Amino acid sequence: MLDPRPVGYVIGLLVAVLGLMMLPPMLVDIAEGREHWPVFFESAVLTFLTGGLVAMACQNTRHQEITIRQGFLLTVGTWVALPAFAALPFMLGETDARFVDALFEAMSGLTTTGTTVFSGLDELPKGILLWRGILQWLGGLGIIIVAMLFLPIMRVGGMQFFKSESFDTLGKVMPRAIDISKALLATYLALTLLCVFSYAALGMDLFEATVHAMTTVSTGGFSTTDASFSAYGGPIHYVSVLFMFLASVPFVRLMLIGSGQVRPLLRDFQVRAYAAMILASVVLIFAIRVLQGEPFDENHFRHIAFNVMSIFSGTGYGDGDVTLWGAAPVVVLLTVGAVGGCTGSTGCSLKVFRYLVLFKALAAQLRLIGSPHRVVSIRLGGRPIERDVIESVMLIFTMFILTYGIMSVALALTGLPFMEATTGAWTAIFNIGPAFGELVEDSGALGAFPDTAKYIMTFGMLLGRLEIVVVYVLFTATFWRG
């Protein structure tokens, strides 16, 4: 029988920590002089006490090792419980959001999707804007830990390929999971601080720089203004492109940079393929736009590079209406959004690694058609790809495609037009950020979507962020039978 107490203990602690994270926004509201701070105080007390009581009730199992089955339950349970409590500050005070909108915003934050139902961001209390940034920052950190320490063990989506690499790459210096977690936190924090200083040096005030750094490094995309990055100049765009790229490459490689080892990052097969695809996408869209009559200049190139990097990484910052570029560029953007960043990063979607495995497997199959008796060895990054890895990758591709199709139909049945339904499913299941269509506000907000559509997208964000299979397995009788 599955013992839920070790899972409840960890989730309780995480909920309590979430309550403590509500205190910085409270202090910001106090410093701003607005009467909004009691919202965060009340939410923090309720969240901290609830999480603390649950942890205390389950603390007699705190020394038990978590099994693989409990790992599945813990992963899903965490991303269900945290958004439920994170929604509290949105439901109170000046935002006064309904539950469906508050839950949508909280799930979008913690899954680093970046889709929002709020408009008029420039008028919101700074505490709320900071809270949105904190949610994405915490979500980005959490998903890296899940990708590096949980998914390889649970053998989800071919992640068993990295089961030993996450540890072996660091050599004998950091062989244990706790050491990797500490190094990861230090790297994540250092990258965030560097991003803050870079934004501030180029003209953002300290508050804007802090929130945008949190949502850049987490590839989340929440902004402090409805205009998003359209409100800022060219140098900030280039800095943002750099940090979005760094945040969407394997963090295990960034951790090594801190010890002076840059070569593993430059030689990583995912990073090379990712950089090549980004460059190819930018050049392709730039060429299409020039052929359409756009000027061949730096400003044009910069806007394309920023939007490609924003969608490719799953950050979702806005910089103008990309639908005005024409059908072909939009198709390219939708395609790169379905690719996503590298495995072991805060990036979204299916990840570059799985596409490389898919292409390698297809190439091997084509060779076998011509020579059925030959022995074909499939390798990636100098390592052989086992059959179970290929099968897991094929499974997750199938699940993503089927889920996207079902979700598109479900959204259309709520009354959404074709564009809104298809891009709404795309942005939710791939955790991209923007959606397109007439019902989408100029700020990118989806407040006009029906409540049923918002609930569907909220569930889609959870599915996409947790690699789909992790969630679906909880709905099988086999899992509960053990």
Residue numbers in the known binding site for K(+) are 112-113, 220, 315, 431
Task: Indicate the annotated binding residues.
Answer: 112-113, 220, 315, 431
Cα distances (angstroms) measured from residue 438 to each of 311, 364, 429, 458, 459:
20, 44, 21, 21, 23
Three-class secondary structure assignment of 9-62: HHHHHHHHHHHHCCHHHHHHHHHHCCCCHHHHHHHHHHHHHHHHHHHHHCHHHC
Q: Of 211, 248, 221, 218, whose CA–CA distance to 114 is shortest?
A: 221
Q: Nearest 5°: phi and psi at 413?
A: -70, -15
Q: What are phi and psi for residue 347, nearest 5 degrees?
A: -65, 165
d(CA 236, CA 204): 9
Helix H or strand E segment including 178: helix 177-201
d(CA 25, CA 94): 14
Q: Residue 63 carries which side chain, given as an amino acid letter?
A: H
**Structure token pair of residue 386:** 């086992």
Q: Which amino acid is at 445?
A: A
Helices H / strands E in the chain, number of each: 23, 2
Residue 130 makes CB contacts below 8 A (sequence gap 6+) with 24, 25, 28, 207, 210, 211
Strands 383-384 and 379-380: antiparallel
Lookup: tokens for 151:
């998914």
The tokens for 280 are 């190819």
